[in-house]
Amino acid sequence: MKYLILSDVHANKEAFAAVLAHVKRKPWDKVVFLGDLVGYGANPNQAVDQMRAIRKPFVGIRGNHDKVCSGIEEGELFNRIALEAAHWTRRKLTKTNLKWLKALPQGPLVVDKRFAIAHGTPIDEDAYIFGEIEALNIFRQTDYPLCFFGHSHFPVIFALSPDAITTILTVAPSFRFKLKPGVRYLINPGSIGQPRDGNPLAAFALYDSDSGVVTIHRIDYQVAAAQQKILKAGLPRPLADRLALGR
Ligand SMILES: [Fe+2]
C-alpha cells in the first residue's frame, strides 16, 4: 500500500495545491493527515475543501491549531500571533468546515495495523519532538515500530536501533530512505504550509509499506501569493514574512 503523508497545511492553499498537483501522476492509495489543516494561513475553508475533495481513502487526526480554530480549545498556550490567527480562522470557517475539523479524531491512531500517526507525539498531541532526547522518551513510552508525527514543521527521521538513536536529516528536493528491519522510526514529513527548517519549499512524504521506502519531497509553490493573502486578510505580518524564510 502506498500512503501520501500530509501534515501542517496551515490554510496555505497555494502550497497544498502545488503538493496535490505534484502527486497527481504518482501512484498512491490513501491520504494520511497528521493535523493542523488550518491556522496561520489565509485560506482555511479552501484548505478543508482541498482535503475533502481528494478522491482517495482518508485517515487523519487533529492538530493543536485545528482544536483552537474549531473551538474545541481556547488556545491558552498559544502566543499572541497564533491566537489572533486562530480567532480570525474561527470567524471565517463555514459551519460545515468547522464541523468537519471538530470531528477529526485525537491522535495517536494506528493505520491499517501498519504504523501509528500522531500530531505532536503519541503521548501528548500538543508536545514537540525536536531532538533525540524527546524522540528517545517517546520510543521508551510506546512500542510502535513506525510512527509519523508533525507539529514541529521540521522534516526529520529518528531511528532507534538496539545500540543507538540516530537523527537523519533530509535533503531537498527529494530524500529517499529505506526502513530497516529491527529498527524503530519516528518520522516527520515536514510541513506543507509553513516549513520551519530554513527551507520555504512545501514538504510532504510518500510511504510504500511493501518496499519500506519513505520519500520526503520538497515542492516549490507561489509563496508570494500566499503572503499577499495573509496581509490582505489583516493577519499578523510575521505570518507572511516567515513563509519566504521557511522558519
Ligand atoms: Fe502546525
Q: Which residues of the chain have pLDDT under 70?
A: none
20-50 pLDDT, tens digit per residue, is 999 998 999 999 999 999 999 999 999 999 9
The pLDDT, as a whole number, for residue 168 is 97
Distance 65 CA to ligand 1 centre (A): 7
The pLDDT, as a whole number, for residue 86 is 98
Distance 188 CA to ligand 1 centre (A): 12
Pair 191, 156: CB distance under 8 Å: no
The pLDDT, as a whole number, for residue 114 is 98
Distance 7 CA to ligand 1 centre (A): 8
The pLDDT, as a whole number, for residue 231 is 98
Decide: helix, strand or coil at residue 36: coil
Pair 194, 237: CB distance under 8 Å: no
Residue 12's nearest CA partner among 190, 205, 214 is: 190
**Residues less than 5 Å from ion ligand 1, measured at CB:** 8, 36
The pLDDT, as a whole number, for residue 211 is 98
d(CA 92, CA 165) in angstroms, rounded, equals: 44
Distance 152 CA to ligand 1 centre (A): 7
150-179 pLDDT, tens digit per residue, is 999 999 999 999 999 999 999 989 999 999
Pair 126, 145: CB distance under 8 Å: no
CB neighbour burial string for 37-71, b if at least 16 within 10 angstroms, e if fewer: bbbbbbbbbbbbebbeeeeeeeebbbbbbbbbbbe
